[in-house]
Structure 1
Amino acid sequence: MAKTAQEKLDAKREKAYYKKHKKMYRTKPGDVIFNIFNYIFFSAFTLTCIFPFYYLFINTVSDNELVKRGLINFYPKGFNVDNYIALREVGDLGTSFIVTISRTLIGTALMVVASAFVGYIVTKQEMWHRSFWYRFLVITMYFNAGLIPWYLNMALLGLTKNYLAYIIPTIVAPYNIILVKTYIESIPAELEESAFIDGASYMVVFRKLIWPLSKPILATIAIFGAVGHWNSFQDSLILMQGNEKLFTLQHRLYNYLNQSSNLGTLMSQGGTAAQQAMEQALNSKVIKYTISMVSVIPIFCVYPFMQRYFEKGIMLGAVKG
């Protein structure tokens, strides 16, 4: 198809512009050297971050005898997936996995909704004693009563040996509320004003305007909340003693680590019992690797899909204080 006179003129102008500014965009030797060192440094940094997880993985899919002798360092040997299949026989691991997933999904969802709504209402100047409540919220980030008063308070509220202990205390997250508030303040006020002129209430504005526009920052705090719930074990360790059905996956892993250490102490006693203990300890080493790998897989699966929201949300939510 023949080009029109205007298309030919545009192409000629583009060619002339590129020729005129060619020297300006030419890469200098210093830039090339900087880019080379930049790529080398960040490549090495990336490999350093990835290697611990890679090391766990290759030890879980290698021959157990080689793993016991510490011969797996850089690549798997004697490929097998029996370790992952054997996890089904580890006592109460499935229950712990369900508890951890459920608390992560429910706790994160409630935290995101609460952070979004509270972050929105503290941006309203007409809120009753707005400055006091916002400052009170910020103060809680720096001061707390301590572990023992926290436990006594949870006990008085009936949250020991109770699944709700995983959910209720995490609904209000001051740092996440501040991020949401800052992000909402970056949304043009004219959008809300036009909605109010059309007769929309605060709840309608929040649901149909603020919530959709705040997806980047909400995705960001969702990542924070999900990782926190998934990795948490202290609340399970302190509050769930006597109710093993509510142990989280991380708490179960912590127990396996302690059991392995205790078996290692028995090895110094000598005799057949020590040999059996040593064998169990070596087997538990493989189990620990496998459980550790399983515990990080969900985060690896979720994070790539949230990455684009995470980068945008954390930058926009941190522009103003």
Structure 2
Amino acid sequence: MDAVVKKQTALGSYTKRRHKISAGDVVFNILNYTFYILFTFACVFPFYYLFINTISDNELVRTGQIKWYPVGIHFNNYLALANVNNLGTSALVTVARTVIGTAFMVVASAFVGYLVTKKEMWGRRFIYRFLIVTMYFNAGLIPWYLNMSMLGLTNNFWGYIIPGIVSPFNIILVKTYIESIPAELEESAFIDGAGYFTIFTRLIWPLSKPILATIAIFGAVGHWNSFVDSMILMSGKPQLYTLQYRLYIYLTSTSNLSALMNSGGSINPQVLNSLLNIRTVKLTVAMVTIIPILLVYPFMQRYFVKGIMLGAVKG
């Protein structure tokens, strides 16, 4: 027993000597940790700054006195969101658009990405190349609007969903990922009598969860943050405005107020107070709009990192 203890002690001493940290390693670790701490601070601070401005005294926020910590903490700005016209409706439209649009996009990207990996598919190369070309060339804004109008997708909720169902970039990622799955798995399923659809739903779909989670994040963030299509397509139906476009309207109102005050124009004090309250509400809405993405991303991160790495191995 004593011999065993002495051997383990000697082995531990040898390991410590072997892994002794040099002065260069210490300097590198200090610089490395310093860099990543500063980088993390640069990423986190904008969200922190936005948050402390939503819970601080509104007058101090208006004059730009809130820098590092909140002053006069209150949550009235968040409670005031209930009084903003049609904000709840815009939130529902945005949530519905994000959920439905992302689901359709993920299913379509997965199925098309699987199909273009099949060499026996007629016209596979042409179809795949045609999809890729659309990433680099488009007709422009006016032809796009005319096309959407002729299809009846203006002032229509499906105008948010249908144009984004097919995403060439996501199809490339899915195709590359599926090609990394061993072909023997699919061949064995064929031998057992499974068809393409069965193989896709029972085999390819479960194995492709990392890349599907990756493109789901891309799609959800894109739908959640989009507002230009709402401004162009939904001008005749304010009830279909998205949350981001509603925020854009508040930004415009604040800019108009600033221009009026700088030009020396007079304004009713009650209207002035109302518009200044809109400015604080605008900051609060901005905070509220980013919270869902911040909450969802940590749960998808492990799939995101794995999927984006494997999907980018070969093209």
Q: In the aligned structure 1, how far is the partner of 2:265 from the partner of 2:190?
A: 81
Q: In the aligned structure 2, how far is the partner of 1:238 from the partner of 1:53?
A: 29
Counterpart amino acid of residue 117 in structure 1: F
1:141 aligns with 2:169: no
Pairing of 1:1-80 with structure 2 (within 5 A): 22-80=16-74
CA deviation map 1:184-243 (0-9, x unaligned): 111111111111111111111111111111000000000000000000001001001111
1:220 aligns with 2:214: yes
Aligned residue among 261, 278, 284 for 1:267: 261
1:104 aligns with 2:94: no
1:199 aligns with 2:176: no
Counterpart amino acid of residue 287 in structure 1: V
Deviation at 1:113, TM superposition (A): 0.5
* SS at structure 2 position matched to 1:127: coil
Alignment partner, residue 236 of structure 1 = 230
Calculate the TM-score normalised by the size of structure 2.
0.94
CA deviation map 1:69-106 (0-9, x unaligned): 32211111121111111001000111100000000000
Counterpart amino acid of residue 181 in structure 1: K
Task: Give aligned pairs, total.
Answer: 315
Given that 2:56 and 2:71 are in contact with CA atoms closer than 8 Å, whether structure 1 keeps it comes out as yes
Q: In the aligned structure 2, how far is the partner of 1:171 from the partner of 1:253?
A: 25
User: Which segment drifts farther, 309-318 or 18-27?
Assistant: 18-27
Pairing of 1:70-219 with structure 2 (within 5 A): 70-219=64-213
* SS at structure 1 position matched to 2:64: coil
* SS at structure 2 position matched to 1:182: helix
Deviation at 1:66, TM superposition (A): 2.1
Residues 1:181 and 1:9: Cα distance change in structure 2 (over 3 Å): farther
Q: In the aligned structure 2, how far is the partner of 1:191 from the partner of 1:284?
A: 58
User: Which segment drifts farther, 52-61 or 226-235?
Assistant: 52-61
User: Which segment drifts farther, 104-113 or 67-76?
Assistant: 67-76
Counterpart amino acid of residue 255 in structure 1: I
Residues 1:271 and 1:104: Cα distance change in structure 2 (over 3 Å): closer
Counterpart amino acid of residue 167 in structure 1: I
Q: In the aligned structure 2, how far is the partner of 1:254 from the partner of 1:117?
A: 36
Deviation at 1:278, TM superposition (A): 4.0
Counterpart amino acid of residue 281 in structure 2: I
Given that 1:100 and 1:230 are in contact with CA atoms closer than 8 Å, whether structure 2 keeps it comes out as yes
User: Which segment drifts farther, 49-58 or 21-30?
Assistant: 21-30
Given that 2:160 and 2:229 are in contact with CA atoms closer than 8 Å, whether structure 1 keeps it comes out as yes
Residues 1:265 and 1:277: Cα distance change in structure 2 (over 3 Å): farther
Q: In the aligned structure 1, how far is the partner of 2:107 from the partner of 2:8?
A: 50
Calculate the TM-score normalised by the size of structure 1.
0.92
Given that 1:267 and 1:277 are in contact with CA atoms closer than 8 Å, whether structure 2 keeps it comes out as no
CA deviation map 1:112-145 (0-9, x unaligned): 0111111111111101011111111111111111
Q: In the aligned structure 1, how far is the partner of 2:244 from the partner of 2:162?
A: 19
Q: In the aligned structure 1, how far is the partner of 2:4 from the partner of 2:227?
A: 64
Q: In the aligned structure 1, how far is the partner of 2:268 from the partner of 2:239?
A: 31
Q: In the aligned structure 1, how far is the partner of 2:246 from the partner of 2:173?
A: 33
Q: In the aligned structure 2, how far is the partner of 1:37 from the partner of 1:188?
A: 42
* SS at structure 2 position matched to 1:54: helix
Given that 2:116 and 2:128 are in contact with CA atoms closer than 8 Å, whether structure 1 keeps it comes out as yes
Given that 1:236 and 1:248 are in contact with CA atoms closer than 8 Å, whether structure 2 keeps it comes out as yes
User: Which segment drifts farther, 21-30 or 56-65?
Assistant: 21-30
1:283 aligns with 2:277: yes
Alignment partner, residue 3 of structure 1 = none
Deviation at 1:64, TM superposition (A): 1.6
Given that 1:236 and 1:251 are in contact with CA atoms closer than 8 Å, whether structure 2 keeps it comes out as yes
* SS at structure 1 position matched to 2:256: helix
1:301 aligns with 2:295: yes
Residues 1:113 and 1:10: Cα distance change in structure 2 (over 3 Å): farther
